Amino acid sequence: MAPRRPLPDTASVAHAGEGARLFAPSAERNVAAITQALFDIAPPSGRALELASGTGQHVVAFARALPGLTWQPSEIDPARRASIDAYARDADLPNLRPAIELDVTAGGWGTARGGQDLIVLVNLLHLISAPEAQSVITEAARALAPSGRLAIYGPFLREGQPTSEGDARFHASLCAQDPLIGYKDLAEVMGWLRDAGVDRIKTRHMPANNLMLVATGSA
């Protein structure tokens, strides 16, 4: 599969901050709710991998709230990797590693990064194509340790429809910029998870009509 295309102009917005740090308003809005959800479902210890970590605002909060896990952020964009590392230096957490370069839409990384007790993916599936999204899920399932957990957060269509006017507008704006991307249907994503070999899929309702899907790897 080809490397991930650049994200649409209106997606994944981040502003310049102090030094190398970038600031994403959406991350500021949802970090507390996502952190609480992970606190409720995460294993007490082990290895945690965040896919497409973005600015680094999230993973610092996750590592602080879940100190028993060793957190590995990842990101394809070098400017965002620099931002992640800048936030990490400021936080000075012993369980947070430097960001690694990783194209999560490419094949093969799941086996190379195997043994993860927790994998977290926030707000990416609607920004990539359906084949890319399915590849991400397949590789993430391969990277899970036995009984490891995969948490996917973001907006989803339900029965092919957005759940609010705001979601409808954003979905339409994404599709206008690139017809291959946009919100994925919940039932379709659940099917991709089952096809990838994970089970015990649970759906957790989150603020702003978002969901967190939590799937468990085979024992």
7 band by pLDDT with thresholds 50, 70 and 90: low
Query: What is d(CA 183, CA 164) in angstroms, rounded to the nearest whole number?
Result: 13
2 band by pLDDT with thresholds 50, 70 and 90: very low
Looking at every residue in the chain, the average pLDDT score rounds to 93
Q: Measured on CA atoms in the order 23, 29, 33, 34, is the torsion positive or negative?
A: negative
Query: DSSP secondary-structure letter at 178?
Result: -
pLDDT at 17: 66
pLDDT at 218: 80
| Angle, alpha carbons 131-152-180 (nearest 5°) | 25
pLDDT at 4: 52
Q: Which of 18, 17, 12 is nearest to 30 (CA)?
A: 12
Mean pLDDT across the stretch 146-162?
A: 96
Element of type H or E holding 214: strand 211-216
What single-letter amino acid sits at 193? L
Q: Measured on CA atoms in the order 79, 62, 29, 214, is the torsion positive or negative?
A: positive
Q: Given a cut of 70, is residue 6 above it in pLDDT?
A: no
| Tens digit of each residue's pLDDT (9 = 90 or more) over 76-132 | 999 999 999 999 999 999 999 999 999 999 999 999 999 999 999 999 999 999 999
| Phi-psi category of residue 48: left, alpha or beta, with phi > 0 → left and psi -120 to 50 → alpha | beta
The pTM (predicted TM-score) of the whole model is: 0.93
pLDDT at 21: 85
| Angle, alpha carbons 207-210-211 (nearest 5°) | 110
Query: DSSP secondary-structure letter at 4?
Result: P
26 band by pLDDT with thresholds 50, 70 and 90: confident
Distance between alpha carbon 50 and the CA centroid of its chain, in Å? 6
| Tens digit of each residue's pLDDT (9 = 90 or more) over 183-219 | 999 999 999 999 999 988 999 999 999 999 999 988 6
